Structure 1
Amino acid sequence: MNTITMRPPVTAAKADRSFWLQSIDADAVTAPLSGSETCDVAIVGGGYAGLWTALRIKEQSPQTEVTVLEADFCGSGASGRNGGQVHTWFAEIDMLRALVGEDDALMLCRATADAIEELQGLQASGTIDMDLRLDGWLWTASSTAQEGAWAQAEALSRALGEARFQPLQRAEILRRTGSAASYVGIMEGRAGTVQPAKLALGLRQLALSKGIVIHEHSPVIEIAPGPRPQLRTVKGALFAGKVVLAANAWLSAIPELHPYLYVVSSQVIATAPATGILERIGWVDGASICDAQHHVLYYQRTPAGNVIFGRGTGGIAYRDHIDGRFNRSGDAGADNIRELHRVYPQLKDVPVLYDWSGPIDCTAQHLPVFGHLKDHANIFYAMGFNGTGIAQAPIAGRIMASLVLGRDDAWSRCGLVGLDNRTKLPPEPFRYVGAKVVRRAIRRKNDLEILNRKPDRLTRFLAGLAP
């Protein structure tokens, strides 16, 4: 019986927390685990994946005792740090079909559309105030190299009877966003933005109301597998019949999972409110916007007029060792500020008040994977959300609930379950050195293509090695 050692958490200082968390003064509301407790299902991680899994298990099996152990506080990780963009998996339907087949791909995409309606229902009923605004998701090009990035996904969706997207031209993009940087693209109408920290904390409150036990400030140090695994924290121990690992990038510490998982950073900034300028340029609604460069830009405006502007920077660490640099980049958001001013030169005099980062767990296929550890059929995992998770995590919860409860259904049988069809990544030091080289090439390629200049052949080759 080999003990599973978890990586110590690297929690963000208050000043390094996201705008979302700081704007609502988020923090823990439940007590740490102290002493010895038991439950039927223990969930490691109090973000979207962990909380949705807990809620789905309770929906299907109300008598099941579920306990969530969160290292910091619910929503303090990726769930409270992301860009707040809500869109379906139809944008990735071509990648899904390549991995799981057409039937499962269509089922999963439709399920994310249903999840958006579920979020709308939670807000409309007053259950969770998440600032959900379904004003659309715009996927655009701001250079010739980005044109048509959406073509395969859009064509496949249409061929399968799901006309989710409508074309966008320069005038409409300018009218919707107030920016002339992007000039062609598509839009998914039933999509938009949320305040991600409000959603996470709302899920925490909903879980507590359903009788789910949550212990915050309770990082799991190690797990002793067995018929009833023991999860050890600094001050306590939790004995469970089954365990769910939903700890995002921290699962890279588990040797069985690490070959399929790599950790990168994403950087986000938030400006001071600029309502007057935004109204003047016509950016007035809650649409989410992306451009199609490799290190994708994603942005939205809040109801109060702050501009949230994020970019997948691809920052990495040797052996995926996550440290404080993943909480804040150290350059005060300089790279994002440069891109913000390219897209919105009108905002050059608006102060940037917040900058933050966060680790993202990625798989080579850029799609999540679910299952149980090879030698421990009662220890399950959910990982690899790649920064797209607000409409996807409710589906993760359904898949995990079916696996944990032993159900034989479309969720437990779907092609996202299991590692057999997943690509292994190189071992260290090749992984780290190769990632550094590829990242540098991608940055060079992006910077040239934004100027409509063609990168040299070596740069294109190296950038093409990215998973």
Structure 2
Amino acid sequence: MQRPFDENLYRFDKPQPSYWEATAEPGRFDNAPLQTQESCDVAIIGGGYTGLSAALHLARDYDIDVRVLEAGHFGWGASGRNGGFCCTGGTGVHRQELVRLVGLDNAREYYASQVAAVELVRQLASDESIDFQAQGSAEVEVAHTRRAYARLQEDHDLLTNSLGLEADLYSAGECRERFYDSTEQFGALVTRPTFGLHPLRYCIGLATAAHRHGAKLHSHSEVVEWSTDGAGEHRLMTRAGSLRARKVIFACNGFMQERLRNDFFGRTIPVISAIVVTRPLSEDEKAAQNWKTDNPAANSRRILNYFRLLPDGRFLFGGRGDIRGSEQNEQRTYENLIGTLRQIWPNWRNVEIEYRWHGLICMTASLCPTLGRLDNDDSVFFGFGYHGNGVNTATWTGKQLADWIGNGREPEGLPAIVRGLSRKYPLPGLRKGYLGLGLFVSRQLDRFR
């Protein structure tokens, strides 16, 4: 599945016209493209949260010689253009479905790692002086119908009684008083820990910290060929240079070149997600929808929308994109997204949209994140598949991989459901068809929830 979408989505030399790009401070570190022949102990393919977290922990905690190769600028991919939700999640299945699939003990173990991942992001910001404009203290999951609220009640019982998470349930009236009012608000489940952040500031902060601790970073250095010699040394070729390494971390996600190594072929489906951001809302406009919260929020649809009020008063609203990624389809996606926003909050129907952009998230066949070391080559490590929840999950994954390499053994307590390479999709060549069918079915199911 080499680049299944329009080439417009893979312009590594072209930043997205996002709010984050417009408001992030430039990175203050050396990240020149790789243009010579170099070597290191550990090479990382991918300069998003996974790769940068791994590089930071390898350099800082283990004094290991590490280099990161990023196809665009640092933060070009999902790590620099997501909605900025640092929250528990990371799977492509509902909580109740996850328990049925993997059992209560495995689900509890996984969610404990998710809480630890959120706290890791917060701790890194403190330790490395990363100002990512943290905002809020919980996630508000809003029932879009009365039937959906009944399911949130079941979720509340599962989270608090069985999975060990903090959660509160609010009726529609309580939600209106505490958070906001809309045409699709029938109560809410509030979960912790969660906070919002500026994702590109965070990504640049990780890169700056990794560089400060000795990691070498190379932007605009897409890996186009990966070979291994008879002695097991890896050679990564870019268009202008090459890098030899004893170990490699494959830290790509939605934009991965899966054919770089056949082990990774057929295990993921990239999915387009799109975001729009309004101009700053006035106090009267916020009051018109009784908006009172700075917590990140999402609705309870299968094809959900996610949204948050930003620190400068702008409103961010995101959702699923199309299955082609062409400029024409992209504009249609934005129009649909804006229409949904104005339908849910009708008093904001005249508020102008100032930013719009899209990108790719990554789903695995197991519908869970996947990390580990290849069975057929113990010098190759990997981490990907965060299902739109990579801020914390990717950061945590990078640390696990760094600890694995630094200590020479698998980290203790690695949740069973993320350990090892995700299975392949059946008939991988049909994955784009699976995506279209899945989106169609989910939209139909949303009509009855």
Q: Smaller-chain TM-score range?
A: 0.7 to 0.9
- Separation in 1 of the partners of 2:263 and 2:384? 13
Aligned partner of residue 272 in structure 2, secondary structure = strand
**TM-score, length basis structure 2:** 0.87
Match of 2:286 in 1: 278
Distance 1:47 1:275, change over 3 A: farther
Check the 8 A contact 2:249/2:382 in 1, yes or no.
yes
Q: Which residue in the other structure is 2:331 paired with? A: 330
Tell me the amino acid that sits aligned with residue 306 of structure 2: Y
Q: Does 1:139 align with 2:141?
A: yes
Q: Tell me if the contact between 1:49 and 1:397 (Cα under 8 Å) persists in the aligned partners.
A: yes
Partners in 1 of 2:269 and 2:357 — Cα distance? 20
Do the aligned partners of 1:328 and 1:355 also contact (CA within 8 Å) in 2?
A: no
Q: CA distance change for structure 1 residues 241 and 104 in 2, over 3 Å: closer, same or farther? A: farther
1:139, 1:185 within 8 Å by CA — same for their partners in 2? yes
Give the structure 2 partner of residue 67 of structure 1.
Answer: 67
| Structure-2 residue corresponding to 1:320 | none
Distance of aligned partners of 1:336 and 1:162 in 2 relative to their CA distance in 1, 3 Å threshold:
same
The corresponding residue for 1:82 is 82
- Asked if the contact 2:3–2:257 (Cα under 8 Å) also holds between the matched residues in 1, the reply is no
Could you say which residue in structure 2 is the equivalent of 1:455? none
The answer to whether structure 1 residue 246 and structure 2 residue 248 are counterparts is no
Say if 1:342 and 1:394 are closer, same or farther in 2 by CA, change over 3 A: same
Q: Does the residue aligned with 2:355 lie in a helix, a strand or coil?
A: strand
Aligned residue for 2:401, secondary structure, equals helix
Secondary structure in structure 1 of the residue aligned to 2:391: coil
Q: Which amino acid aligns with 1:278?
A: K
What residue in structure 1 maps to residue 42 of structure 2? Answer: 41
Provide the secondary structure at the position in 1 that maps to 2:390.
coil
Does residue 192 (structure 1) correspond to residue 195 (structure 2)? The answer is: yes
The structural deviation recorded for 1:213 is 0.7
The farther-off stretch of 95-104 and 342-351 is 95-104
1:458 is aligned to: none
CA distance in structure 2 between the aligned counterparts of 1:140 and 1:304, rounded to whole angstroms = 23
The structural deviation recorded for 1:359 is: 1.2
Q: Give 1:212's match in structure 2, choosing from 205, 215, 220.
A: 215
Contact 2:30/2:217 (<8 A) preserved: no
Q: Could you tell me which amino acid in structure 2 is paired with residue 245 of structure 1?
A: F
Indicate how the Cα distance of structure 1 residues 291 and 380 shifts in structure 2: closer, same or farther if over 3 A, else same.
same
Counterpart selection for 1:166 from 160, 165, 168: 168
Give the match for residue 391 of structure 1. Answer: 392
- The DSSP-based 3-state class of the residue aligned with 1:32 is coil
TM-aligned CA deviation for residue 381 of structure 1: 1.5
> 8 Å contact 2:77–2:255 — kept in the other structure?
no
Q: Does the 8 A contact of 1:326 with 1:359 survive in 2?
A: no
| Alignment gaps of 5+ in structure 1 | 318-323, 453-467
Letter in 1 for 2:224: I
Q: Which residue of the other structure, out of 290, 293, 298, is the alignment partner of 2:301?
A: 293
Deviations 1:294-336 (A, max 9, x none): 11110001010111101123x335xxxxxx6499823261111
Contact 2:90/2:369 (<8 A) preserved: no
Q: Which amino acid aligns with 1:426?
A: P
Unmatched segments (≥5 aa) in structure 2? none
Between stretches 276-285 and 330-339, larger displacement belongs to 276-285
What are the superposed Cα offsets for residues 123-170 of structure 1, whole Å, 9 maximum, x if unpaired? 456700011123320112112453344455533332347251100111
Identity %: 25
Amino acid at match of 2:265: H
1:65 Cα deviation from its structure 2 partner: 0.6
Q: Tell me, in whole angstroms, the C-alpha distance in 2 between the residues paired with 1:369 and 1:220.
A: 21
**Equivalent position of 1:417 in the other structure:** 419
Residue 159 of structure 1 aligns to a residue whose secondary structure is helix
CA distance in 2, matches of 1:380, 1:161: 29
Structure with greater contact order relative to length (CA < 8 Å, sep ≥ 6): 2
- Compared with structure 1, are the counterparts of its residues 328 and 151 closer, same or farther at alpha carbon in structure 2 (3 Å cutoff)? same
Correspondence for 2:119:
117
Q: Secondary structure at the match of 1:395?
A: helix
CA RMSD of aligned residues (A): 3.0
> How many residue pairs were aligned?
435
Residues 370/238 of structure 1: CA separation in 2 closer, same or farther (3 Å cut): same
**Residue equivalent to 2:22:** 22
How many Å apart are 1:413 and its aligned residue?
7.2
Structure 1 length-normalised TM: 0.84
